Structures are given as C-alpha cells and as structure tokens.
C-alpha cells in the first residue's frame, strides 16, 4: 500500500490516512488496533471490496487498485464465515473451484487435500448446521485456501470462538500459514493473537500505522506512548512528570534520579552530539540539559514493591488501592498522585491503604517526550 487513504461521508470520516505498508511474500502480517482504527477498511482495500480515495495498491509490481476482487486472486475469511447451509462441507469447500469450471475429479482431489490439512476429512458429508463453531471455521478456511490465493485475508476470524478453541485455532492457523507459505494479512484487536501469530505487527490507531515491528520488538521498544499503553497485559505504566536536567519530578510521589550518572561512553557521544537514540538509556538522556513534560514508562513486571523507602535506586511513592490474585502472579494496583499504576508481584504482602514504594532499574525505564515519542 502506497500512501493509501480512504475517506467516507464525503471526507468527513477518515478510515485510513496515508498508509504505507509492504508485506513480503509468505509473511504473516497482523493489523492490530482498537475498534474503529481502520483495520477492516485497510483489509477491504487490499481485497478490492473498497477502492482507495488516494494512493495505490500493488501485488508485486502490478497495480491492483481499481480491479475487482475476483481479478486479484485474494481469499478473505470473515468473523461470520458464511457457509451455504444447504450444501455439504465438501460442496461448500469445492464451490470456488466449481465456479471456476474445475472438473469434478480435480475438485475432489483438492477437497481431499485441504480437508486433510485442516483435519475435517471426517466431516465432509455433513451440513454446516451439524458442525461446531470451530469446525465451521475450519470449513471456511478450507474454502478460502482451496483456490490457492496469492493473498490470504482474515478479518477477526476467531472472535466467535470460545477461549480454548481460539487458542487451538491460533496454533492451527499459524501451522497452516507456515506449511502453505502464503502471504497473509490478519486483522484483530486481540493482542495475544497478534503477538502469537505475526511475523510482523502493524499497530494501528486513527487510520494510521503507529508502529510496524516484529512482536518482541513491539514489546521491548514501543516507539510511542500510545503503543506503550496498548501493548502488554496490563500495559506499561506511564508516570507523568517534568524533566529537569538529571531527574524527573513526579509531583508528590517523588523525584526519579535514574542515578543520573552518564557512562563514560554515553558522555563522549553526547558531547559529540552523535548519540544514537536507539542506544541511549533513560539514565544517560536525563543528564542532558533538556527540560519539559515527559512520561516515564515502566512495565508492571519490572516494578518492585517495597514497604520501606529504599536507600538507593529509583522509588516512587504510592498507596495500595487493590490487590488482585491472578494465580500466576499478584496484581497490585497502586495510586500514585492521581493515577492508578499496576505492579506484578509474586507475593501479596501488601493490602489496601498501605503506603509503599515502587522500585525499578534504570534499564527498565522508558522515556517519552511531550509529543509521546520515545526518547530513550
């Protein structure tokens, strides 16, 4: 997609704005974002169900916008996988080939292949009404891949399934995509699905791509405060503060020094003005003269909880609001100034109303400037 925008209502609704996105052959790309951010519209533009208001779409070197969906050789699977109720599973799956005039013998062979691939070979004579939700979804997938499309488009295909089945189908879909090596664009608002299946995730907000990165990079280096707030469960805590030379003032909750000591290497680079932002730690950035409003980010899993004021290191004071035992960990919600922040603990030796100190290492801190851009 090259500078693709899509407007509705005579320009009053901007569904997509200047999207630039390249998906490699065989890549599994997931578009992830909140409801209304423009994911489905982007997918429909690739499918040809919508035409861009501006920009161009290419499959390889061929420009495809303006072409009808049937001229693009794409297969799309929706949340509501509409199967023909009066046809058997085999007839449903073979239908796209029948329409293309593929002879019955060839058709049957292909049906056998894809039903085996999706483990539904025992269901071929049943009607969709006699299948479970998961089986129906497999039939819809089989019907999509039997055509050997050049691009496979999936719009929240698992959201009608229960949690256990969703997990199973996630593994199944990933396996299928690996085996067939088929270029796939998958739309979801479910972070686990995105992180678990994607080679690359396009995080979308308000019609634009906020960050395009492999799942782990997204978690380790969220480029904007918006992405930081979106990724993780619960997501990163962001403390509003004011940067003053070597420290961040977080109001009554304290001042974070981040030790403020620049390493020799960082000091030399800072003087030369050539410090690569990607390598800068929050601590080294804080020692520069910059001032202004910032957000200091620390993930719940990187926060420690101490009932006494630590003698060294970073500490932010707060009051325990609620304690939630989650099984695997204990989630402590802490009120800091007028904000609630989360810390994941292995034991729950605090209770509501306790004054506590949230501690963290410099290396685990992120710093976002007043435009929400990652500084370090």
Is 303 a binding residue for ligand ATP by CB under 6 A? The answer is no
Q: Residue 271, interface with ligand ATP (CB under 6 A)?
A: no
Among positions 1, 5, 41, 153, the unique one binding ligand ATP when judged by CB under 6 A: 41
Question: Candidates 39-47, 112-120, 135-143, 235-243 — which segment interacts with ligand ATP by CB under 6 A?
Answer: 39-47
Q: How far apart are the first and last CA of the chain?
A: 30
Answer yes or no whether residue 120 interacts with ligand ATP by CB under 6 A: no
DSSP 210-235: EEEE-HHHHHH--SBHHHHHHSBTTB
Chain mean position to CA 291: 32
CA angle, 185 as apex, 120 and 49 as ends, to 5°?
A: 95
The binder of ligand ATP chosen from 1, 4, 5, 15 (CB under 6 A) = 15
Minimum CB distance to ligand ATP, residue 218 (Å): 18
Region binding ligand ATP by CB under 6 A among candidate stretches 38-46, 84-92, 231-239, 260-268? 38-46
Q: Is 187 within 8 Å of 155 (Cβ atoms)? A: yes
Q: How far apart are CA 314 and CA 303, in angstroms?
A: 10
Q: What mask of x and - would describe binding to ligand ATP in positions 156 to 195, judged by CB under 6 A? A: ---------------------------------x------
Whether omega before 309 lies within 30 degrees of 0, making that bond cis, reads no
Where residue 135 falls (left for φ over 0; alpha for ψ -120 to 50; beta otherwise) is alpha
Residue 126 DSSP label? S
Q: How far is the CB of 165 from ligand ATP (least distance, A)?
A: 20
- Tokens in use for 159? 């959201």
Q: Is 9 in the site for ligand ATP (CB under 6 A)?
A: yes
**Piece of 29-37, 135-143, 293-301, 322-330 that binds ligand ATP (CB under 6 A):** 29-37
Cβ–Cβ under 8 Å, residues 165 and 133? yes
d(CA 84, CA 80): 12
Q: Kindly tell me which of 204 and 296 has the beta carbon lying closer to ligand ATP.
A: 204
The phi and psi torsions of 60 (rounded to 5 degrees) equal 65, -130
* 225 lies in the binding site for ligand ATP (CB under 6 A): no
Instruction: Compute the least distance from the CB of residue 286 to ligand ATP, in Å.
Output: 37
Q: Does 39 bind ligand ATP (CB under 6 A)?
A: yes
Q: Is 80 in the site for ligand ATP (CB under 6 A)?
A: no
Contact positions vs ligand ATP (CB under 6 A): 8-9, 13, 15, 33, 35-41, 189
């Amino acid at each position: 997609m090259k500078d693709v925008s899509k407007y509705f209502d005579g320009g009053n609704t901007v569904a997509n704005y200047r999207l630039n996105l390249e998906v490699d052959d065989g890549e599994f790309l997931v578009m992830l974002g909140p409801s209304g951010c423009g994911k489905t519209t982007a997918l429909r533009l690739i499918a040809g169900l919508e035409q861009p208001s501006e920009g161009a779409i290419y499959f390889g070197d061929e420009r495809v916008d303006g072409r009808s969906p049937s001229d693009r050789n794409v297969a799309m699977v929706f949340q509501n996988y509409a199967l023909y109720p009066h046809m058997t599973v085999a007839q449903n799956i073979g239908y796209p080939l029948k329409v293309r005039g593929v002879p019955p013998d060839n058709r049957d062979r292909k049906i056998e292949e894809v039903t085996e691939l999706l483990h539904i070979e025992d269901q071929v004579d049943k009607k969709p009404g006699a299948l479970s939700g998961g089986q129906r979804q497999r039939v819809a997938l089989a019907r999509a891949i039997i055509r050997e499309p050049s691009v496979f488009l999936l719009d929240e295909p698992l959201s009608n399934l229960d949690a256990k089945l969703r997990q199973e189908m996630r593994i199944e879909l990933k396996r299928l995509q690996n085996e067939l090596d088929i270029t796939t664009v998958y739309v979801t608002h479910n972070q686990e699905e995105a992180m678990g299946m994607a080679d690359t995730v396009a995080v979308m907000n308000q019609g634009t791509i906020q960050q395009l990165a492999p799942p782990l990079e997204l978690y380790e280096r969220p480029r904007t405060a918006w992405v930081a707030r979106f990724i993780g469960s619960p997501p990163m805590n962001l403390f509003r503060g004011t940067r003053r030379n070597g420290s961040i003032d977080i109001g009554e909750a304290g001042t974070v020094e981040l030790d403020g000591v620049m390493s020799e290497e960082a000091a030399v680079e800072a003087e030369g003005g050539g410090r690569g932002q990607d390598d800068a730690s929050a601590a080294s950035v804080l020692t520069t003269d910059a001032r202004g409003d910032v957000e200091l980010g620390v993930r719940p899993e990187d926060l420690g909880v101490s009932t006494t004021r630590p003698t060294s290191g970073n500490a932010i004071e707060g009051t325990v609001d609620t304690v939630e035992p989650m099984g695997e960990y204990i989630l402590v919600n802490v009120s800091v100034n007028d904000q609630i922040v989360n810390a994941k603990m292995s034991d729950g030796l605090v209770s509501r109303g306790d004054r506590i100190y949230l501690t963290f290492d410099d290396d685990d801190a992120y710093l976002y400037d007043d435009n929400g851009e990652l500084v370090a």
